[in-house]
Amino acid sequence: MKLNLFSFLFTFTILSSHVLSISDLILTKVDRRIDLSTQIVRTTTTLKVENAGSDIVSEILLPFPENHAIHLAYLSATLNEGRGKAKPSSGAGLPYDEVVSPKDFPNSLKVYSVTLPKGLGKGDSLTLDVLAVFTHILQPFPEKITQADIQLLLFQETAHYLTPYPVKVQSLVVKLPDARIESYTKLEKTKLQGSELKYGPYENLPRFSYLPMVIHFENNQPFAVAKELVREIEISHWGNVQITEHYNLVHGGAQSKGEFSRLDYQARPYVRGASAFRRLVAKLPPRAHSVYYRDEIGNISTSNLWGDSKKTELEIEPRYPIFGGWKTAFTIGYGLPLQDFLFGIDGKRFLNISFGSPINELVIDTLIVKVVLPEGSKDISPSVPFPVKQSHETKFSHLDIAGRPVVVLEKNNAVPEHNEHFQVYYKFNRLSMLREPLMLIFGFFFLFVASIVYMHADLSISKTSASYLAKIQWEEVQATIRQVHTIISRCLTTHDKLEASLRDLSRTGDIQGCKATRKSVDSSLKELTKELKSPVAFLQSSPQAAQILPKVEEVIAKERDLQERLMAKHSTVVDCYEKKLGGREIENRVASHQQKITALRQEIDDLMDLIDEI
């Protein structure tokens, strides 16, 4: 893996030659804390800022190296009182914008400007908390591992806080998932305590001071990355908000190589699958109901649900453990009480609900939130606390006429910090709620009226018409053909009994038993022949049977021929057994009969199938 440390050193060596006079701010103290315990890197920086100049300062610049800025997912800056308590007047966060780098700044930096609520005068100071959240910044090293290997990651940063202002004192604490570290850059004033790596304090640092460091450490936490998450929020004014979330998930850590052994994994999952993740936890809103978890195959039963009045947790487990580079797709759905999320103000209604995914520590490359409003909604305006791409579409559901308006909000590189509440305002006429019930009432009313008309109307065909008589005659022909079919089938069953008696004779040598069966079969076939006479005579007299009669007569003739062949074969075999001839001699004598019997049986079966089709 190539490390871009030399390019950084070169860039910032050039930087040190510039004397920047952007303002007379001084950072009297900088405390940084970098959390590497999950796949999401969170950098929390507390800046104590002092204005040492005479001009009033209204903004503070926060630069980031470009190789970090491209992974920046979330940034916030808030004022505090120095003890972690936000000022009531400061709000959720100070506004900031990306600005063009000043001419004395290098091209390798991306700069954000934080606007202060009021100008900072000469000698004044304040404390600023900055939270920066990065994704896909931890580099697997090695990039490919086997099932039995642990996952090692590489993290590159500067031990000195990168800023355009001079720093009096600064310190850095890096929190790791556990105490195991492969290697780390050992600088002046470096100390490893348990799972925390401390750098500093460093004093009197110049502008843009840069001291590269690299940490190579173990991290087997779930690297769950949603390549795409489509979150559909459907509002029903009948009392429910239905949430449906479609996940396309991948393990974003070190790629898995080699074969996967289910046996090894089942025996020692935390050794032979340390880098895989087996389950995820979704924290659903309170009073969530009708929760389901399924994929393309169907419902997935490996899930658990806990809930009380304050929270609902869903633990989901995929059908198989997810190793590096492996993918899975599934859907989570649940319902929420409407009164907890829909409110009214100034003649408008508005939905107030969280934006992101409920799954813990999930990185989402593309998050699409679709808010489906009731049909007839108008004057729609969403309000989101951070920049998103907005569009509109229409969804058709049951009993819709014009379709339901859908607000589509798209956000790239979303993290749990984006799981803030957003609002969708719209107007809706209460009378529109009666549309669907009235459609159902009138639909059932017309159905019942049509049923009454149908029951009282005589739609039957006259019994004296030629078409009706022809229909009746054809039905009689069909019934007769079924009767003939049944009789022929019984004849074939009787033939099978005769064949079975010969097999018993060859096995037991009971000649008398075989003759008795022959006598019984003869009697049965005579009775069946008598039964055939009546239906055949009807078919011969009916003009409707003219097309099918030749086939019926043919199958009857072949059945009689088959009877004669079977009887001849039976007589020959019994005679041979009485004369105590050998098996080879018996086979030679009945060979011609058997060949003809097989051919006749096949022809009869084909004719029976043909009659069924007609």
Which residue's structure tokens are 């020692």? 268
Residues 540 and 411 in one domain: no
CATH number assigned to the domain comprising residue 245: 2.60.40.1730
Give pLDDT tens digits for 518-544: 888 888 888 888 888 888 888 888 887
Residues 180 and 236 in one domain: no
Q: Are strands 212-218 and 152-158 parallel, antiparallel or unpaired?
A: antiparallel
- Give the least confident one: 55-59, 90-94, 121-125, 133-137: 90-94
Residues 242 and 328 in one domain: yes
8-state DSSP, 544: G
Look at the chain and report how many structural domains it folds into.
Answer: 3
| Mean pLDDT (the chain, rounded) | 85
Residues 214 and 228 in one domain: no
pLDDT category at 13 given cuts 50, 70, 90 is: very low
Residues 210 and 288 in one domain: no
Order of strands, sheet of 72-80, starting from the edge strand that comes earlier in the sequence: 72-80, 125-134, 41-51, 25-35, 167-175, 196-205, 190-193
Give domain status of residue 436, yes or no.
no
DSSP collapsed to 3 states, 567-580: HHHHHHHHHHHHCC
CATH number assigned to the domain comprising residue 191: 2.60.40.3680
Residues 257 and 385 in one domain: yes
Which residues span the domain enclosing 319?
A: 224-428
Residue closest to 351 by CA, chosen among 374, 375, 326: 374
pLDDT category at 61 given cuts 50, 70, 90 is: very high
d(CA 48, CA 352) in angstroms, rounded, equals 36
Give domain status of residue 371, yes or no.
yes
Give domain status of residue 199, yes or no.
yes
Residues 120 and 249 in one domain: no
Give domain status of residue 259, yes or no.
yes
First to last CA, the chain: 76
Helix intervals (H) in 243-292: 262-267
Give domain status of residue 181, yes or no.
yes
Q: Which of 401, 428, 455 lies at the terminal end of a domain, its last residue?
A: 428
CATH number assigned to the domain comprising residue 497: 1.20.120
Give domain status of residue 17, yes or no.
no
Q: Which of 166, 198, 218 lies at the terminal end of a domain, its last residue?
A: 218
Residues 376 and 482 in one domain: no
Residues 121 and 253 in one domain: no
Residues 479 and 416 in one domain: no
Highest averaged pLDDT of the listed ranges 218-227, 392-401, 594-603: 218-227
Q: Which of 218, 253, 270 lies at the terminal end of a domain, its last residue?
A: 218
Give domain status of residue 305, yes or no.
yes
Give pLDDT tens digits for 387-434: 999 999 999 887 777 888 999 999 999 999 999 999 999 998 877 777
**Whether the predicted pLDDT of 173 surpasses 90:** yes
Residues 211 and 230 in one domain: no
Tokens for 399, please give them.
């009993």
Residues 139 and 120 in one domain: yes
Mean pLDDT of 8-14: 40
pLDDT category at 140 given cuts 50, 70, 90 is: very high
pLDDT category at 545 given cuts 50, 70, 90 is: confident
Its pTM stands at 0.68
Mean pLDDT of 192-219: 92
Phi-psi bin for 346: left (phi > 0), alpha (psi -120 to 50), beta? Answer: left
Give domain status of residue 6, yes or no.
no
